[in-house]
Protein backbone atom coordinates (compact mmCIF):
# COMPACT_ATOMS: atom_id res chain seq x y z
CA UNK A 1 0.00 0.00 0.00
CA UNK A 2 1.16 3.49 -0.81
CA UNK A 3 -0.15 5.35 2.23
CA UNK A 4 -1.97 5.00 5.50
CA UNK A 5 -4.81 7.29 4.39
CA UNK A 6 -8.10 6.48 6.07
CA UNK A 7 -11.68 6.72 4.93
CA UNK A 8 -12.04 9.76 7.19
CA UNK A 9 -9.43 11.75 5.26
CA UNK A 10 -10.76 14.81 3.46
CA UNK A 11 -11.03 13.86 -0.20
CA UNK A 12 -8.33 15.13 -2.53
CA UNK A 13 -10.49 14.29 -5.55
CA UNK A 14 -14.21 13.62 -5.84
CA UNK A 15 -15.73 13.00 -9.27
CA UNK A 16 -19.36 12.21 -9.99
CA UNK A 17 -20.47 11.31 -13.51
CA UNK A 18 -17.67 13.29 -15.14
CA UNK A 19 -17.59 13.31 -18.93
CA UNK A 20 -15.62 15.09 -21.62
CA UNK A 21 -15.87 15.13 -25.41
CA UNK A 22 -13.79 16.53 -28.26
CA UNK A 23 -16.40 17.40 -30.82
CA UNK A 24 -18.29 14.18 -31.50
CA UNK A 25 -15.61 11.98 -29.94
CA UNK A 26 -16.32 11.09 -26.32
CA UNK A 27 -13.06 10.94 -24.33
CA UNK A 28 -14.56 10.28 -20.88
CA UNK A 29 -18.02 9.15 -19.84
CA UNK A 30 -19.54 8.85 -16.34
CA UNK A 31 -16.32 8.75 -14.29
CA UNK A 32 -17.11 8.53 -10.59
CA UNK A 33 -14.68 8.03 -7.71
CA UNK A 34 -13.38 9.60 -4.49
CA UNK A 35 -9.70 9.71 -3.57
CA UNK A 36 -8.89 10.43 0.11
CA UNK A 37 -6.23 12.98 0.98
CA UNK A 38 -2.75 11.49 0.98
CA UNK A 39 -3.81 8.40 -0.97
CA UNK A 40 -2.69 7.21 -4.40
CA UNK A 41 -4.85 6.07 -7.29
CA UNK A 42 -3.11 4.31 -10.16
CA UNK A 43 -4.85 4.93 -13.49
CA UNK A 44 -4.52 2.26 -16.16
CA UNK A 45 -5.78 1.99 -19.71
CA UNK A 46 -4.67 1.61 -23.30
CA UNK A 47 -3.74 4.61 -25.44
CA UNK A 48 -6.84 6.69 -26.07
CA UNK A 49 -8.66 5.39 -23.00
CA UNK A 50 -8.96 8.90 -21.52
CA UNK A 51 -6.16 8.93 -18.97
CA UNK A 52 -4.52 12.19 -20.03
CA UNK A 53 -7.91 13.88 -20.44
CA UNK A 54 -8.71 12.93 -16.85
CA UNK A 55 -5.44 14.41 -15.61
CA UNK A 56 -6.02 17.64 -17.51
CA UNK A 57 -9.49 17.99 -16.01
CA UNK A 58 -8.09 17.51 -12.51
CA UNK A 59 -5.40 20.09 -13.24
CA UNK A 60 -8.05 22.61 -14.28
CA UNK A 61 -6.78 22.70 -17.87
CA UNK A 62 -9.92 21.15 -19.38
CA UNK A 63 -13.56 21.80 -18.57
CA UNK A 64 -15.69 18.70 -17.93
CA UNK A 65 -18.75 18.63 -20.16
CA UNK A 66 -20.81 16.53 -17.76
CA UNK A 67 -20.90 15.67 -14.07
CA UNK A 68 -19.23 17.26 -11.09
CA UNK A 69 -15.52 17.52 -10.32
CA UNK A 70 -14.10 18.55 -6.96
CA UNK A 71 -10.35 18.89 -6.34
CA UNK A 72 -9.02 19.78 -2.88
CA UNK A 73 -12.44 21.12 -1.93
CA UNK A 74 -12.75 23.31 -5.02
CA UNK A 75 -15.52 22.81 -7.57
CA UNK A 76 -14.07 22.73 -11.08
CA UNK A 77 -13.94 24.71 -13.22
CA UNK A 78 -15.73 27.47 -11.28
CA UNK A 79 -13.30 27.44 -8.35
CA UNK A 80 -10.16 26.32 -10.14
CA UNK A 81 -8.39 29.38 -8.75
CA UNK A 82 -8.54 27.75 -5.31
CA UNK A 83 -6.30 24.89 -6.46
CA UNK A 84 -3.53 27.07 -7.86
CA UNK A 85 -0.32 26.45 -6.01
CA UNK A 86 -1.80 23.30 -4.44
CA UNK A 87 -1.55 20.91 -7.40
CA UNK A 88 1.59 19.67 -9.12
CA UNK A 89 1.31 18.43 -12.71
CA UNK A 90 3.82 16.25 -14.52
CA UNK A 91 2.58 15.58 -18.04
CA UNK A 92 4.11 14.37 -21.27
CA UNK A 93 5.57 17.83 -21.86
CA UNK A 94 8.14 19.00 -19.28
CA UNK A 95 6.70 22.55 -19.09
CA UNK A 96 10.20 24.00 -19.00
CA UNK A 97 11.66 26.81 -21.10
CA UNK A 98 14.16 25.12 -23.38
CA UNK A 99 16.39 28.18 -23.74
CA UNK A 100 16.70 28.73 -19.99
CA UNK A 101 18.98 26.71 -17.76
CA UNK A 102 17.65 24.18 -15.30
CA UNK A 103 18.38 26.56 -12.43
CA UNK A 104 16.76 29.52 -14.19
CA UNK A 105 13.63 27.47 -14.90
CA UNK A 106 13.23 26.33 -11.33
CA UNK A 107 13.97 29.74 -9.83
CA UNK A 108 11.39 31.25 -12.19
CA UNK A 109 8.75 28.78 -10.98
CA UNK A 110 9.85 29.42 -7.40
CA UNK A 111 9.08 33.12 -7.84
CA UNK A 112 5.67 32.30 -9.33
CA UNK A 113 4.79 30.26 -6.24
CA UNK A 114 6.44 32.51 -3.68
CA UNK A 115 8.98 29.81 -2.83
CA UNK A 116 12.55 30.57 -1.72
CA UNK A 117 15.08 30.09 -4.50
CA UNK A 118 17.07 27.87 -2.15
CA UNK A 119 14.33 25.26 -2.56
CA UNK A 120 15.08 25.13 -6.30
CA UNK A 121 18.79 24.69 -5.68
CA UNK A 122 18.14 21.93 -3.14
CA UNK A 123 15.98 20.01 -5.61
CA UNK A 124 18.64 20.24 -8.31
CA UNK A 125 21.10 18.66 -5.91
CA UNK A 126 18.63 16.03 -4.78
CA UNK A 127 17.95 14.67 -8.27
CA UNK A 128 21.61 14.68 -9.29
CA UNK A 129 21.51 17.60 -11.73
CA UNK A 130 23.96 19.91 -9.96
CA UNK A 131 26.61 19.44 -12.66
CA UNK A 132 24.12 20.44 -15.39
CA UNK A 133 22.13 23.05 -13.46
CA UNK A 134 23.54 25.92 -15.51
CA UNK A 135 23.04 24.24 -18.88
CA UNK A 136 20.02 25.06 -21.01
CA UNK A 137 17.21 22.52 -21.01
CA UNK A 138 17.58 21.98 -24.76
CA UNK A 139 21.03 20.45 -24.19
CA UNK A 140 19.81 17.85 -21.69
CA UNK A 141 19.03 14.21 -22.33
CA UNK A 142 15.41 13.09 -22.02
CA UNK A 143 16.14 11.54 -18.65
CA UNK A 144 17.71 14.73 -17.29
CA UNK A 145 14.83 16.78 -18.65
CA UNK A 146 12.39 14.46 -16.89
CA UNK A 147 14.24 14.92 -13.60
CA UNK A 148 14.11 18.71 -14.02
CA UNK A 149 10.38 18.52 -14.82
CA UNK A 150 9.79 16.51 -11.64
CA UNK A 151 11.60 19.21 -9.66
CA UNK A 152 9.25 21.79 -11.20
CA UNK A 153 6.18 19.72 -10.32
CA UNK A 154 7.08 19.38 -6.63
CA UNK A 155 8.80 22.73 -6.12
CA UNK A 156 5.84 24.29 -4.29
CA UNK A 157 5.07 21.23 -2.09
CA UNK A 158 1.66 20.50 -3.68
CA UNK A 159 -1.14 18.70 -1.84
CA UNK A 160 -2.04 16.74 -4.99
CA UNK A 161 0.38 15.34 -7.58
CA UNK A 162 -0.87 14.49 -11.07
CA UNK A 163 1.72 12.20 -12.60
CA UNK A 164 1.61 10.96 -16.20
CA UNK A 165 4.20 8.17 -16.55
CA UNK A 166 6.63 9.92 -14.18
CA UNK A 167 9.44 7.40 -14.65
CA UNK A 168 9.44 7.67 -18.44
CA UNK A 169 12.98 8.08 -19.83
CA UNK A 170 14.58 7.47 -16.42
CA UNK A 171 17.22 4.82 -15.83
CA UNK A 172 17.28 3.03 -12.46
CA UNK A 173 19.56 5.68 -10.99
CA UNK A 174 17.28 8.49 -12.10
CA UNK A 175 14.20 6.67 -10.80
CA UNK A 176 15.87 6.21 -7.42
CA UNK A 177 16.84 9.90 -7.29
CA UNK A 178 13.25 11.14 -7.81
CA UNK A 179 11.53 8.52 -5.64
CA UNK A 180 11.78 10.64 -2.44
CA UNK A 181 10.00 13.46 -4.30
CA UNK A 182 7.15 11.65 -6.06
CA UNK A 183 7.15 8.08 -4.75
CA UNK A 184 4.72 6.30 -2.47
CA UNK A 185 4.39 7.73 1.03
CA UNK A 186 5.86 11.14 0.20
CA UNK A 187 2.81 13.02 1.55
CA UNK A 188 0.59 14.44 -1.18
CA UNK A 189 -2.29 12.56 -2.76
CA UNK A 190 -1.28 11.16 -6.14
CA UNK A 191 -3.07 10.40 -9.37
CA UNK A 192 -0.56 8.17 -11.12
CA UNK A 193 -0.91 7.14 -14.76
CA UNK A 194 1.11 4.03 -15.48
CA UNK A 195 1.46 1.37 -18.15
CA UNK A 196 3.39 -0.85 -15.72
CA UNK A 197 0.57 -2.82 -14.12
CA UNK A 198 2.71 -4.56 -11.52
CA UNK A 199 4.55 -1.48 -10.31
CA UNK A 200 1.44 0.69 -10.42
CA UNK A 201 -0.52 -1.76 -8.28
CA UNK A 202 2.32 -1.93 -5.78
CA UNK A 203 2.35 1.86 -5.36
CA UNK A 204 -1.40 2.43 -5.20
CA UNK A 205 -4.13 2.48 -2.59
CA UNK A 206 -6.83 2.57 -5.26
CA UNK A 207 -7.05 1.53 -8.90
CA UNK A 208 -8.96 3.16 -11.73
CA UNK A 209 -9.09 1.29 -15.02
CA UNK A 210 -10.33 3.05 -18.15
CA UNK A 211 -11.49 1.43 -21.35
CA UNK A 212 -12.57 3.64 -24.25
CA UNK A 213 -13.32 6.50 -21.87
CA UNK A 214 -15.43 4.43 -19.49
CA UNK A 215 -14.69 3.31 -15.95
CA UNK A 216 -13.96 -0.41 -16.28
CA UNK A 217 -12.24 -0.91 -12.89
CA UNK A 218 -12.51 0.89 -9.57
CA UNK A 219 -11.45 -0.59 -6.28
CA UNK A 220 -8.82 -0.94 -3.62
CA UNK A 221 -5.47 -1.96 -5.04
CA UNK A 222 -5.36 -4.96 -2.71
CA UNK A 223 -8.59 -6.25 -4.26
CA UNK A 224 -7.66 -5.78 -7.92
CA UNK A 225 -5.98 -8.64 -9.74
CA UNK A 226 -2.97 -8.09 -11.99
CA UNK A 227 -4.79 -9.91 -14.77
CA UNK A 228 -7.71 -7.46 -14.58
CA UNK A 229 -5.35 -4.54 -15.19
CA UNK A 230 -3.50 -6.28 -18.00
CA UNK A 231 -6.85 -7.07 -19.59
CA UNK A 232 -7.37 -3.34 -20.19
CA UNK A 233 -4.61 -3.46 -22.78
CA UNK A 234 -5.81 -6.59 -24.58
pLDDT in tens, 123-134: 999 999 999 999
Residue 161 and residue 71: Cα distance in Å, rounded?
A: 11
Q: What local confidence, expressed as pLDDT, does residue 234 receive?
A: 86
- Give dist(CA 157, CA 52) in Å, integer: 22
Angle, nearest 10°, between helix axes 102-113 and 142-154? 20
First-to-final CA distance of the chain: 26
| Tally of residues, the chain | 234
pTM of the shown model: 0.93
- Backbone torsions φ then ψ of 109, nearest 5 degrees: -65, -30
Strands 25-36 and 11-22, by their bridges, are antiparallel
Q: With pLDDT > 70 as the criterion, what percentage of the chain qualifies? A: 96
Query: 51, 165 in Cβ contact below 8 A?
Result: no
* Whole-number pLDDT of residue 33: 98
What per-residue confidence (pLDDT) applies to 8? 46
CA angle 60, 140, 165 (to 5 degrees): 40
Say whether the peptide bond before residue 77 is cis (omega within 30 degrees of 0). Answer: yes
Buried b (16+ CB within 10 A) or exposed e, 45-73: beeebbbbbbbbbbbbebebebbebbbbe
CA 130/CA 124 separation, integer angstroms: 6
Which residue numbers in the chain have pLDDT < 70? 1-9
- What pLDDT, on the 0 to 100 scale, is given for residue 10? 77
Cα–Cα nearest to 76, from 102, 100, 92, 58: 58
In the chain, what's the furthest Cα-to-Cα distance? 49
- Outline where 129-182 has alpha helix (H): 142-154, 172-182
Amino acid sequence: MATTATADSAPAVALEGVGRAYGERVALRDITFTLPGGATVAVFGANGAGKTTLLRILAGLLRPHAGRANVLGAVLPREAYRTRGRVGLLGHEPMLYRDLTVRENLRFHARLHGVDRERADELVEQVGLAARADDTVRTLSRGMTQRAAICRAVLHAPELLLLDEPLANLDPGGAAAVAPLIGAGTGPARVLISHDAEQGLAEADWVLGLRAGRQAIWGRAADVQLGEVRGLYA
